[in-house]
């Protein structure tokens, strides 16, 4: 129990700072984007900021929804840091691998939940902010609808989507840590072989289809359960690689 508590305390040390810095940058950027949309001729001659749909049937805008790319980048960086920076140091504090891995999952749940709360609030604000400009907001994002779904549904939906995608990133980070550059050689060989003999990349095609399914399917009870099961499988697979991997001090 003492090892588990130390692992939680250790992983929490930089978490608040990292989250604070991330949203301390993203929220002002969203605000500036809103102002640039409000005054389009004042700066950059009317360039559209955020997400924008403009065709014969619809002309709609969203600002906060564009946060998904930096959020994804954050989780990739955050997850890799867990193994390449925190993992080697944690064992020096007499933490067990099992305790470190359990706390890693708990931290992933916590961060995904915090991000889903903040992003849901921003997307709700975005809905009314865009309307206040006399413009049509983008409301249908496949997994959620910011106009018809309440804030609790938005939080739960974004949480399970973020958490499930992060479980995939976690598996990738663990395999990459264990195999190093050999992992990318294996990926390259399999992808090249499948592209030549099958006509498409099995690995990247499967990942693309999986992510497409996650981000284009409305989150209901069935989808929620499926994503929970998928995330559980991803974490179990990652632990198989993690439990006996040799400690490294740098990314290779």
Q: How many Cα atoms occupy the beta-carbon half-sphere of 15 within 13 Å? A: 21
- Nearest residue to 103 (alpha-carbon basis) of 228, 235, 229: 235
- Grouping H, G, I as helix, E, B as strand and the rest as coil, residue 244 is coil
- Nearest residue to 33 (alpha-carbon basis) of 112, 106, 126: 126
pLDDT along the chain (252 residues), means of 10: 63 77 92 80 52 70 89 91 82 77 91 96 93 86 93 96 94 86 59 54 70 88 95 95 76 44
Sheet holding 59-62, edge to edge: 51-54, 59-62, 136-137
Give the model's pLDDT for residue 67: 92
- Grouping H, G, I as helix, E, B as strand and the rest as coil, residue 51 is strand
Give the model's pLDDT for residue 136: 86
- Nearest residue to 182 (alpha-carbon basis) of 246, 233, 88, 232: 246
Give the model's pLDDT for residue 192: 60
**pLDDT single digits (tens) 101-145:** 988 899 999 999 999 999 999 999 999 998 888 888 888 899 999
Spatial contact of 132 and 56, defined as CB atoms under 8 Å apart: no
Give the model's pLDDT for residue 16: 79
């Amino acid at each position: 129990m003492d090892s588990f508590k130390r692992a939680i305390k250790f992983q929490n040390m930089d978490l608040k700072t990292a989250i604070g810095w991330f949203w301390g940058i993203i929220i002002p950027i969203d605000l500036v984007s809103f102002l640039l949309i409000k005054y389009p001729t004042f700066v950059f001659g009317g360039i559209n900021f955020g997400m924008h749909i403009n065709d014969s049937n619809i002309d709609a805008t969203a600002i906060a929804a564009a946060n998904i790319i930096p959020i994804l980048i954050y989780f990739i960086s955050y997850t890799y840091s867990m193994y390449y920076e925190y993992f080697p140091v944690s064992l020096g504090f007499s933490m067990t691998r099992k305790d470190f891995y359990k706390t890693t999952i708990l931290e992933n749940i916590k961060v995904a939940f915090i991000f889903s709360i903040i992003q849901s609030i921003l997307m709700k604000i975005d809905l009314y902010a865009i309307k206040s400009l006399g413009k049509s907001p983008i409301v249908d994002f496949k997994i959620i609808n910011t106009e018809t779904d309440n804030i609790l549904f938005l939080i739960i939906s974004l949480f399970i989507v973020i958490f499930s995608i992060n479980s995939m990133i976690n598996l990738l980070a663990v395999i990459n840590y264990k195999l190093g550059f050999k992992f990318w050689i294996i990926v390259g060989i399999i992808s090249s072989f499948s592209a030549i003999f099958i006509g498409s990349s099995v690995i990247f095609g499967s990942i693309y289809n999986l992510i497409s399914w996650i981000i284009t399917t409305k989150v209901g009870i069935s989808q929620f359960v499926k994503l929970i099961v998928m995330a559980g499988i991803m974490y179990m697979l990652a632990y198989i690689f993690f439990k006996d991997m040799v400690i490294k001090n740098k990314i290779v």
